[in-house]
Amino acid sequence: METAPATFPWEDVWGQDDAVRMLRAAADDPSQMTHAWLITGPPGSGRSTLAYAFAASLIAEPGDEPAMRQVLARSHPDLTALRTEQVIIRIEEARKLVERAYFSPSLGRYRVIVVEDADRMAERTSNVLLKALEEPPERTVWVLCAPSDADLLPTIRSRVRTVRLKEPEVDDVARLIAARTGVDPAIAAQSARHAQRHIGMAQRLATDADARARRDDTLRAVLAVRGVGDAVEAATRIVQAAGDDAKAITALRDEAERSDLLRMVGVAPGAAVPPAVRAQVNALADEQKRRATRSLRDGIDRVLTDLQSMFRDVIMLQYGRADDLINTELDDDLRALAAAWSPARTLLVLDEIALTRRNVERNAAPALAIESLLVAVATGRTSS
């Protein structure tokens, strides 16, 4: 396949040559530009990487690498970026974006607004963006990112030009991870397979033995569920493991943010926080709690994705397909389950996993949602 030139700032966009060609052409030719874009693709396909490369090429003059690097670092004054680490994008955040959209570029050719998690907008929040998309300010470009265009309101979809990214192959992800991290190619291949082509998750699994162990323990715990008591015990372990995983991701960052804030306001390490700055410290703590909630729910979703992959392997085996299994390390257990269950029972569990993912995303209590799912695993019946 023909490869697009790896010219800065596009060189970090991996495996999406057609999308790069389309956006480079738009950046270079005003006749191919539009004021609003939607980049869609599966998790780990590089949506945000492509969005910021496009933003850099729009804001900076051709060849102005310092300005492009500033955009890629999210520090250019003509770039406004929103990446929520909470459950949803708040309406106040959307209103601030719209206000920024009406500012003229201060240094660059365009003002660019990137919304990385456009699928996390409620209908009321999405409607806030509509006016800005219907009546676009001159020299302002919106770049929305979402897993699918179906995740956005039809009124939003009708006002954007969509760029659909493709899902990379497992072998390609493995080679990329091995080249980036230097890990053993076998570990990189296993991680790419377990991550189901999600580049970021594959890299984390490849470089974090504890994360690999937690994933393996979780799947084996679910395979061992035989009754309601087992389901409750396994659900507790799964939620605890997801919480530990979330803490491992956020703890160092939280402490660094608090230290940076205290240093900026002149508080020495170990000193008491003065009353005058307690409001700032408390606001940061509240923000970190919201981020922790999002991180936990993302962790639960990763667990459910892993369980989905395992029962997907079971149904594949039940229909005589053993050539494309994700969890080959569990081959004997999966074959035993495939022989013991009917395909209808496996499909019921897969449906329950999908329902649990939706319920957790809608703020259902994770422990109760997982318990209900594992009861279905144990009994072959739904709780409804």
Whether 6 shows a pLDDT value over 50: the answer reads no
For residue 158, give the nearest of 147, 178, 144, 168 by alpha carbon: 144
Whether 252 shows a pLDDT value over 70: the answer reads no
**DSSP letter string, 191-246:** HHHHTTT-HHHHHHHHH-HHHHHHHHHHHHHHHT--SHHHHHHHHHHHHHHHHHHH
- pTM (predicted TM-score): 0.69
Predicted confidence (pLDDT) per residue in 273-312, tens digit: 888 778 887 887 777 777 777 777 888 888 999 999 999 9
Q: Which of 34-38, 88-92, 95-99, 113-117 comes out lowest in average pLDDT?
A: 88-92
Per-residue pLDDT at 85: 62
Right CATH for 228-379 from 1.20.1070, 1.10.10, 1.20.272, 1.10.1760: 1.20.272
Amino acid at residue number 1: M
For residue 302, give the nearest of 230, 361, 383, 374 by alpha carbon: 361
Per-residue pLDDT at 267: 80
CA torsion angle 221 224 228 233 (round to 10): -30
CA angle centred on 382, ends 379 and 243, rounded to 5°: 85
Phi-psi region of 183 (alpha: psi -120 to 50; beta: other; left: phi over 0): beta
For residue 170, give the nearest of 150, 185, 189, 142 by alpha carbon: 189
Phi-psi region of 266 (alpha: psi -120 to 50; beta: other; left: phi over 0): left
For residue 137, give the nearest of 177, 200, 78 by alpha carbon: 78
Per-residue pLDDT at 350: 96
Whether 12 shows a pLDDT value over 90: the answer reads no
Per-residue pLDDT at 4: 38
Residues 102-141, buried b or exposed e (16+ Cβ, 10 A)? Answer: eeebeebbbbbbbbbbbbbbeeebbebbeebbeebeebbb
> Tell me, what DSSP letter sits at residue 61?
P
- Helix (H), strand (E) at residue 39: strand 36-40
In sequence order, the 6+-apart residues with CB closer than 8 A to the CB of 175 are 188
| Stronger pLDDT, 315 or 363, i.e. the higher one | 315
Per-residue pLDDT, averaged over 8-33, amounts to: 89
Per-residue pLDDT at 3: 39
Q: pLDDT over 90 for what percent of the chain?
A: 46
Per-residue pLDDT at 328: 95
In sequence order, the 6+-apart residues with CB closer than 8 A to the CB of 285 are 258
Per-residue pLDDT, averaged over 82-92, amounts to: 77
Whether 262 shows a pLDDT value over 90: the answer reads no
How many whole angstroms separate alpha carbon 214 and alpha carbon 212?
6
Residue 179 CA to its chain's centroid (Å): 22
Contact call for residues 181 and 208 (beta carbons, < 8 A): no
- Helix (H), strand (E) at residue 37: strand 36-40
Predicted confidence (pLDDT) per residue in 327-381, tens digit: 999 999 999 999 999 999 999 999 999 999 888 877 788 889 999 999 999 988 7
Per-residue pLDDT, averaged over 73-84, amounts to: 88
Q: pLDDT over 70 for what percent of the chain?
A: 96
Confidence band, pLDDT 50/70/90 cuts, at residue 86:
low
- For CA atoms 65, 71, 77, 78, the dihedral sign is positive
Contact call for residues 46 and 256 (beta carbons, < 8 A): no
CATH class, domain 17-164, is alpha beta
Per-residue pLDDT, averaged over 156-162, amounts to: 92
Whether 5 shows a pLDDT value over 60: the answer reads no
Per-residue pLDDT at 2: 37
Q: Give the largest CA-CA distance in the chain.
A: 68
In sequence order, the 6+-apart residues with CB closer than 8 A to the CB of 183 are 177, 191, 206, 207
Residue 242: count other Cβ atoms within 10 Å of its Cβ: 24
How many whole angstroms separate alpha carbon 88 and alpha carbon 294?
9
Residue 288 CA to its chain's centroid (Å): 18
Predicted confidence (pLDDT) per residue in 206-241, tens digit: 999 988 998 999 999 999 998 888 999 999 988 888
| Stronger pLDDT, 131 or 322, i.e. the higher one | 322
Chain mean pLDDT for the chain:
87
